[in-house]
Amino acid sequence: MGQLAHQHNALNLSQGFPDFESDPELINLVTEAMKKGHNQYAPMPGIYSLREQLALKIKKLYNANYNPATEITITAGATQAIFTAITAFVRPGDEVILFNPAYDCYQPAIELCGAIPVNIQLSAPKYAINWSEVQSKITPKTKMIVINTPHNPCGTIWSKHDLINLENCIRDTNIIVLSDEVYEHIVFDDQVHESVCKFSTLKSHSLLVASFGKTFHNTGWKVGYCAGPQSLMEEFRKVHQFNVFSVNHPIQIALTSYLKNEENYLSISNLYQQKRDYFLEAIENSRFTGIPSQGTYFQIVDYSAISQENDVDFCKRLIIEHKLAAIPLSVFNVDGLDQYQLRFCFAKKEETLYKAATIISTL
């Protein structure tokens, strides 16, 4: 969709990246770190000062303890962390449970390991989880459950009730939970992010993945991290060492300083809630409908009042005829299930959202 948008000079609300710059302070901190000579390999698990700062942050936010020496690893973005976690533990014939719509990097890594994706399809518009179905999918071959909250592409968040149910599912098993929490700081309407590390049994089974790129509007820097108990992290690092070995050194130096000011990440939800509200208000008189996003910087809309054509074709026509790009949700679903849903990214300047809403209101 991004390529098609470029080809037709369309406004691109399909791909999930901001069209505004990072904080100049953070950019200056990276520049300063480069000028001070931090341009050679960082330690394999990441510089200790950054891992220590992350341990403090996690303790303050979630009251969870991670040893920065042995239980946190800096990664080349969250996607690398996810791939590393899967390949460290998943073997041929294992089963890995996924919730669809699912972000598109999970299943290829599972299949590359020779394992079997076990897909649980969620239904629009609420995408609620049927925990009886989840329990029924767990077998002696279940090696891992992959979760994502706040959820891309749906914009939903898992409740405390959901995490308790997940904890009950994996209690007294050896199942590993891979928790993709890259949008942890983008949660709306005074709701809270429920991390796996807040639940003791879940924490002991889980690898938590997070992203600086999503939080600080610099997805192209590709820096994230993974946190988990030492027994899991030891295996994670065995793959990480021979996958990327180490991660961008000056950016790690800069992030260590930048994270010391809590407002740099605690203010992110307000920023994106303003953008979500602006976008929804701008399209409220259109024929698109949708439940306001609970988190992430994505908004799901239903276009069934406009057309009954499949979502891929509708998205292509939206680009070619109306010069606006979105993502069809069927590409994230089991067997391409089409529920007449599109994903718009609202991590954009107000002028970009205004232009998009103007087009949407004509349909």
Tens-place pLDDT, residues 219-239: 999 999 999 999 999 999 999
pLDDT band at residue 141 under the 50/70/90 scheme: very high
Architecture field, domain 2-16+266-360: Alpha-Beta Complex (3.90)
**The predicted structure's pLDDT at residue 159:** 97
pLDDT band at residue 15 under the 50/70/90 scheme: confident
Contacts of 165 (CB under 8 A, 6+ apart): 129, 131, 134
**The predicted structure's pLDDT at residue 1:** 87
Which tens digit of pLDDT belongs to each residue from 43-58?
Answer: 999 999 999 999 999 9
Mean pLDDT for 209-220 is 96
pLDDT band at residue 190 under the 50/70/90 scheme: very high
Which tens digit of pLDDT belongs to each residue from 108-127?
Answer: 999 999 999 999 999 999 99
Mean pLDDT for 77-99 is 98
**The predicted structure's pLDDT at residue 17:** 87
Cβ pair 125, 153 in contact under 8 A: no
Q: What is the pTM of this model?
A: 0.96
Instruction: With a cut of 90, say whether residue 2 has pLDDT above it.
Output: no
DSSP bridge pairs for 75: 224
Architecture field, domain 24-260: 3-Layer(aba) Sandwich (3.40)
Q: What is the CA radius of gyration of the chain?
A: 20
Mean pLDDT for 246-254 is 98
Instruction: With a cut of 90, say whether residue 347 has pLDDT above it.
Output: yes
Q: Where are the domains of the chain?
A: 2-16+266-360, 24-260
Mean pLDDT for 251-266 is 98
Mean pLDDT for 271-289 is 97
Instruction: With a cut of 90, say whether residue 165 has pLDDT above it.
Output: yes
Mean pLDDT for 290-319 is 97
Instruction: With a cut of 90, say whether residue 26 has pLDDT above it.
Output: yes
**The predicted structure's pLDDT at residue 31:** 98
Percent of the residues in the chain that have a pLDDT greater than 90, as a whole number = 98
Percent of the residues in the chain that have a pLDDT greater than 70, as a whole number = 100
pLDDT band at residue 215 under the 50/70/90 scheme: very high
Q: Rounded to 5 degrees, what are φ and ψ at 70?
A: -120, -10
Q: What is the mean pLDDT of the chain?
A: 97
